[in-house]
A and B are shown apart, each in its own frame.
Chain A
């Protein structure tokens, strides 16, 4: 997709409104410019009683009762002003209404696409993506487009429309002065364009200084306990003062630059008006223009100049919108993961690994090498090994967050790669080591995995995860909010809520990716027993550091550098020299020491 296609897709169904905005804006321009003409007419033709040159108008006047009738009934011209305004008001109303409809509708569409697309991007994308940068694209870049649609386009039409039509009218009145009235226009537009294009970098310095200040503050706030315990209050204050000062000074620089621009462009505009006033005085004195014409010139000049200052600015902003669209497209053009297509076999828990190799896209070395093993339904399999041995990669393969490079993985004799991702993930429940909880209530966090779950089911899942009592001790029980708004949960509590969330759907296969590390051994055992008691058919895969958790496993695989270096039951393995025995000895060394 390129920018043009994106815009076409976004505007689909909004073209009529878009044209409508341009039309009402032009209508606004025309009627806005009529006002001074009515005044001028009153001045010249009614009060001063000059002959009417335009046959159309003179016809109209005759129909209205003639100049002398209007002279004694000035309310008719006053009514004219009101009528003009009624048109202006109507145009303005529709412009505002349609602007909002267009910009909000288009932006809603874009936000939804972005969100949907992001959630469908493969896991590998999210691992390398920078969260802050992505959010920036989804929020400020989208807002850039919103401002352009909601405001700037109609502002541009207004400014250019006013300038062109007004200049045209001025030329028809008195070309010599019309030329003069245009002198400063290119200067103002160019000045504004370069100024607003350039000021971006100055703004950025101030933004960065503010970011640095917030960061310093946040850092110190997060470390409050350390600050206090180490008696570093003054140190932190001085550190913050420096960033605070830099922010203030940098922003002041920006404000000064802005001040210089506005004062300069105001001065230019005022001098331009002054020029027209002075020339107008001489021309009117010599009778080359009427007083009404003089009035039109002076009025139009200021009607043109103030909006024209915005043209340069809008043009500069358009450049920014173009960049923003590029950044948005970078996300939308990333290929997404297919979660809908594939086979949907019944999964019993039988898993066969047959010489499986896997490497991450950007790596040139396999993280899993030649894995061959078989898991039978209802079995408990444990995987143990040092950090970086490939345990988590193995879990990623089983849920198709990544696909293997070589070999076969069969689930109930179906090649894993051909199974629908959605189906697979609904059947393979996985609890991550550092589970992510959404900022909702605890209740909703558990329910999220199964929107139709009843309260009893939720409570039962929490009981099995040994977290029910803890939740009930909170003031608001299950309605306690997770995260900043509510309680700060400990690592173990988060893990147990994540377990409850996972087991609320009865998955035939459960994977614990070191997800009981933050609960004590007793609770660890309790949870797994409770699960077995409810459903004995579950096939469990445990990844852990804890020897004590895995002694009853049907099969223990010891991974090292992506290879299975040992396999067997606990009793087999403690009699072999190797990694397992070493880990075992380290973990029980205190006991050994005790016995000397």
Chain B
């Protein structure tokens, strides 16, 4: 995965605290309630000891040092103290264990929920959402929320418990001294929240610039050839300097806020310490306060600072994490545009839990009946589109980009559904059967074939998960891929690299043919590639396509003349309408759009020669 993934995310409004959103997050967190309860218990344990230590010291001073505590009760004191130390050690270990479990399990569950949701969502979602955004939700957003919902939340809880505990002990022991400590609380709370939100916002800015810098490095490296041939070195360097300059500027700004904030916090601590020394010292002098108590208060006053800062930090974090939470929740609440009805699910199961045993066989008769479709209402793509295809026919769809030929195929595959009208497969509206049923019967080859990281064998087997090695080899032989596969170092076990990167475009196409063939599909969909492949591979591919399509109901978005010419039926699509329909000979005779398109594919000279021979 590229770390240079720039998370240019839509910004959600983070100004107001969205309670209903956090309720949803807490509901997800509550699924781990057993761990949560354990964690809260441990937390209280840790906080109790944190509160108790200064008190123990006070006891030691007043009793053993100043007073005349018995030597044997010192032993008891030591045992108690050691007990606390061990108890704290165990608690810290348990705390890590449980908080870690919550973080990881919470993140694990949310990821699974997202993944499940993504499997249900249809093309409409993917067409409008760039992969980088989905990726960011799955990784950084989930990590962010999980971290806050475990460690930070526990810090908040620990901080509050310590503060409450300390406050109670102080008030009981000496309420006047307690007030001197407590008086700084509101001031500190205000200062902390003022600074923390600004500090975090600044760091967020820094992170943004940082990801831009990473992006620049990545572009500088992968675009090196372009940079050199266009002599852009100077230009790019200037832009980069601006970025690093703004990075330095912002980082220093964030650090300065911190450099002011820390002394302020300590300053408040010093003020309350001075107050304790002044007032408490006086009380000790007039013997109305025990010496150990004074010591205890000095410790408490500094112990108060840390939890308060933690709480302020967490409040700021929560506010800033709201965008992450919003993105994750909005993905989880996304509704698929194409889905099965309840009756269909009852019969055929869901996508993730299907019942393939009862899938009906498909013969391959297809009918589009008064189909309407648009992505947005102003621009209708298909209007009252009708088409009847007999089983076993090869249909070549020809037309310009944007003519609607891809939409027809997407509609047939039920990646999108008609807005009005019906699509019948073997005479039955395909919405009466499940999505899984249709897709299980499809053989689909994309224009730019996507292979999965793994071996060639894995990739062909993707078409039929229980295929034997013999079946895989047979499929590869069928599409003439066997020969090049065997030439590779590890044959069928050769690694194709990420996205099939180690194979040439032509080789990727052949593998994707084999992957479709091994399914023995009832309907074949082929989106032909336009990019150039060297002439000899091209011939192999042509041959492969011919064998592939023979006698199967197939739809081809065709670019190669050979495919078009040998199709049973050619549909010329323009602005969502079939403007010409027939086989090659019939369409050539019409001397219409197809005729022009066909002759244009070749240069004038070739046509000239052709005409000469015709005469």
Contact = CB atoms under 8 A, between A and B. Distances in A.
Contact of B65 (A136, A291, A518): A291
B532 A135 contact: no
A133 B85 CA distance: 46
Given A88-B263, A215-B1, A134 B221 contact: yes
B226 A432 contact: yes
A75 B74 CA distance: 36
A139 B214 contact: yes
B358 interface: no
B168 interface: no
B101 interface: yes
A545 B534 contact: yes
B230 A548 contact: no
Contacts of A262: 92-93, 96
A241 to B, nearest CB: 6
B439 A432 contact: no
Contacts of B281: 42, 46-47, 74, 77
A439 B215 contact: yes
User: Which of under 10, 10 to 19, 20 to 34, or 35 or more describes the interface residues of B?
Assistant: 35 or more
A112 interface: yes
A205 B444 CA distance: 38
Interface in A257-303: 258-260, 262-264, 266-267, 270-271, 274, 277-278, 280-282, 284-285, 291, 294-295, 298
A448 B284 contact: no
B263 A93 contact: yes
Secondary structure dominating the interface of B: helix
Contacts of B28: none
Interface string A119-135: 11101001001011011
Contacts of B135: 214, 217-218, 221
Contacts of A278: 74, 78, 81
Contacts of B418: none
A230 B436 CA distance: 9
Interface string B119-159: 11011001000111011001100000000000000000000
A42 B538 CA distance: 94
B266 A89 contact: yes
B226 A436 contact: yes
Contacts of A284: 65
Contact of B240 (A47, A115, A226): A115
Nearest to A518: B531
Residue of A245, A278, A517, A590 most packed against chain B (CB within 10 A): A590
A401 B229 contact: yes
A565 interface: no
Contact of B226 (A107, A224, A435, A518): A435
A259 B97 contact: yes
Nearest to B151: A255
Contacts of B337: none
Nearest to B65: A284
B345 to A, nearest CB: 14
Contacts of A35: 273
Contacts of A214: 1, 135, 138-139
A98 B437 CA distance: 67
Range class of the A interface residue count: 35 or more
A275 B273 CA distance: 26
B33 interface: no
A99 to B, nearest CB: 7
Contacts of B232: 448-449
A211 B2 CA distance: 10
Contacts of B251: 100, 104
Contacts of A74: 277-278, 281-282, 285
Contact of A436 (B97, B225, B565): B225
Nearest to A140: B3
A418 interface: no
B610 A96 contact: no
A588 B351 contact: no
Given A119-B220, A484-B6, A252 B453 contact: no
Contact of A85 (B237, B259, B267): B267
Contacts of A263: 89-93, 96
A229 B439 contact: yes
A252 B101 contact: yes
Given A96-B259, A108-B247, A274 B1 contact: no
Interface stretch (A174-182, A231-239, A308-316, A369-377): A231-239
A344 interface: no
A126 B600 contact: no
B245 to A, nearest CB: 7
Contacts of A282: 74
B595 to A, nearest CB: 13
Identify the 6 closest CB pairs spanning chains A and B, nearest first.
Answer: A259-B96, A96-B259, A255-B100, A100-B255, A89-B263, A85-B270
5 contacts: A42-B277, A229-B525, A281-B64, A436-B222, A547-B603
Given A119-B227, A248-B104, A251-B100, 12 more contacts: A85-B267, A88-B263, A96-B262, A112-B240, A139-B217, A230-B439, A230-B462, A237-B116, A263-B92, A270-B85, A583-B535, A586-B539
